[in-house]
Amino acid sequence: MRIAPSSEDFLSDFQTMSTFGATGNGGVDRQAASPADAEQRNWFRSLLESHGLKVKYDQIGNEWGLLESIPGAPFVVVGSHMDSQPTAGKYDGAFGVLAAAHAAFRLQTDWENDVRPTPKYNIAVVNWFNEEGSRFKPSMMGSSVYTAKLPLEDALDVTDSRGITVRAALDEHGFRSGWEGPKAASCAEIHVEQGRTMERDGVSIGLVHSNWAANKYEFVVHGEQAHAGSAIIQDRRDALLGASMLVVAAREIANAFPGVVHTSVGQLDVYPNSPVVVPSRVSLLLDLRSADESALRDADAMLHQRVADIEIEANIKVERRTSHAWPVTPYQPEGVELSAKIAADLGLSHQPVMTLAGHDSTNMKDLVKTVMLFVPSVEGVSHNEAEYTRDEDLVAGVDMLTEVVSRLANGELDD
């Protein structure tokens, strides 16, 4: 008789997983298709295979662990991502992938031991490629290709800051094939909240019912290179000055919609980046997010008016090179209702929440019925080495996800 992994086994595996790309302050650095990411992917493959799952990589490098109990049937897709920001917390994404694996291991054991009825659907544990977008843009790349929102060749041709393409980075480690991935019947993802609402309210499980809308832009500010000492101030066309004014404008727009609109500039690339040269070009990524699409439209209009003003004030030109946006869209309410019943049955406190961040499930919910769950983040710290979620919350999340995946595998959200 097969014995299912225990909660202690999960925590032990999580501790091992956190050693890959570990940083000195308790976090991780394993950007997509980096050596550290490759190490943890290979470890995860071994873990999946040790429990009898078949591991395959698809055409954009998503890593799949297939538990095929019903030959030919579609799959409940369950997982998250293991790639990270350059200095990141060890819970973001990675918890959801390992929780998915352990949920599959538990259900596999129960099915083989006739503890649960034979399912209608199979299970596909997934480690999505390049969810974070820190090395390759855009974020959520793997799930965007899988859901046909991003053309495969466009994704494979993306380069990092050193000019390495996604295609080359994946092929270096053997993480790509011609396979399109399994056919999905439904989807589930669990993640740390990346906010403080649940901790504040003393809630164990967040039932995600919708996502915030977002508008993301890559702006390129064009100026003119000049000597930083001798060039007359009034004659300068300082691209960094223009970029700095955009950074300030983003914050001023957020202040105009307090608590309603979030804005940020997370990356600046300055050329030539010399201490004695007035910069001639700066690339920056700027985003606006809100749960109120009307407010987001107003904020976006303010941004573009401010861009026009800055071009005049700083004597520069601003090019909008790329943009990426998604609206406020709900998760299927029947999935939220099912999750609420499961949480109640397990005795877990729960409440509906929204996600301010993007997740791979936000792509999947447009393809199949999808359940998104949160566990609390201590003080809401995320994308930071100090990110922390208590062991008891992690374990409760695995218990919750296991029951959700079991119900999905039984077809309880079928029409």
156 and 38 assigned to the same domain: yes
35 and 146 assigned to the same domain: yes
Residue type, position 221, single letter = V
What pLDDT does residue 5 have?
87
308 and 339 assigned to the same domain: no
203 and 345 assigned to the same domain: yes
Residue 7, beta-bridge partner list: none
What pLDDT does residue 287 have?
94
- As a whole number of angstroms, the distance between CA 153 and CA 157 comes to 6
Per-block mean pLDDT, blocks of 10 residues, the chain (415 long): 87 98 96 98 98 98 97 98 96 97 98 94 98 93 97 97 97 97 98 93 96 94 96 97 98 97 94 96 96 97 98 97 86 98 98 90 96 96 94 98 98 93
310 and 341 assigned to the same domain: no
- As a whole number of angstroms, the distance between CA 379 and CA 118 comes to 41
95 and 184 assigned to the same domain: yes
Is the CB of residue 31 less than 8 Å from the CB of residue 37?
A: yes
225 and 82 assigned to the same domain: no
Domain housing 78: 7-212+328-409
Tell me the pLDDT tens digit for each residue of 251-293: 999 999 999 999 999 889 999 999 999 999 999 999 999 999 9
165 and 67 assigned to the same domain: yes
Structural domain ending residue among the three candidates 279, 307, 326: 326
Q: The pTM is what?
A: 0.91
47 and 144 assigned to the same domain: yes
Structural domain ending residue among the three candidates 326, 351, 366: 326
* Domain tally, the chain: 2
What pLDDT does residue 1 have?
65
Whether 1 is in a domain gets the answer no
DSSP 113-174: TTSSPPPSSEEEEEEES-SS-SSSSSSSHHHHHHTTSS-HHHHHT-B-TTS-BHHHHHHHHT
What pLDDT does residue 314 have?
97
